[in-house]
Structure 1
């Protein structure tokens, strides 16, 4: 393919990233306004809320965040008393992270906000658009999972 024929607007990774960023930024504005959270803080809270006790490394893998972003988010959530750290008995270098009761309450409130936002997006897309998007994303995820093997 000639470089002059390349159409960035049709390049799938570009389109996926742009759509995801637009959707994420709109949701980020909602939880920032309501709770003063950053994106890494929300993603850390969401990882722990949905998966339970994890290490910082596991949070990073789960949410595809660099360890420095996870570290800053953990510190901020700990400052809010939404998260607690427990040293691993077998490996003193490792810490387990989990939400405190206040963190669980915040997570539940934020998941209601997320659910409302998801409903808004579903309404904007309509049933056919939502089904098409879901099928397309499943196809991408399955293809990438096969490629990793």
Structure 2
């Protein structure tokens, strides 16, 4: 067997055990399961819900701030914001501290939908966490915090 064949085999990527892939698949599965509970009932897409969830927690953010907090593509955020503005679930206004900067907030209708979806999302979170012991939950929380720390991934962003 040629040396390059052996090196190629050792450099092979096994997706089933590749952490970034596993985290992405898990995130997508969890997000999809939550979305399945509210999409038809509230006529809202997953990106729209993510925008609403961020603004429900922290109002008066710019679309760029929302994109940063959700780690969503700016185009996806822009489309979700446009649909939410059109449906009357969001309002755009000027920031109190800088009248040149527009920010987003949930409208009264948006808050009404948000308050109805949050219990569904929290109930699903409890279903997931019920599969773990208290020690496992605490360990998972610590590990997620550690992996989400800026120094855990930022160095890779800078190498691009």
Calculate the TM-score normalised by the size of structure 2.
Answer: 0.79
Equivalent position of 1:139 in the other structure: 146
Distance 1:26 1:146 in 2: 28
5+ long unaligned stretches in structure 2: 1-5, 156-160
Q: Which has the larger radius of gyration?
A: 2
Q: 1:2 to 1:36 in 2, by over 3 A?
A: farther
C-alpha RMSD of the superposition: 2.2
> How far apart, in 2, do the equivalents of 1:3 and 1:29 lie?
41
1-structure distance, mates of 2:84, 2:151? 32
- C-alpha distance in 2, partners of 1:34/1:132? 35
Between 1:76-85 and 1:40-49, the stretch displaced more is 76-85
* Counterpart secondary structure, 2:88: coil
Aligned to 1:80: 87
Q: Map residues 69-108 of structure 1 onto 2, 5 A cutoff.
A: 69-87=76-94, 90-91=99-100, 94-108=101-115
Among 151, 154, 160, the residue aligned to 1:148:
154
TM score, norm. by length of structure 1: 0.84
The count of residues paired between Structure 1 and Structure 2 equals 146
Q: After superposition, what is the alpha-carbon deviation per residue over 1:42-73, rounded to whole angstroms, capped at 9, x for unaligned?
A: 01101110011111111111111222211211
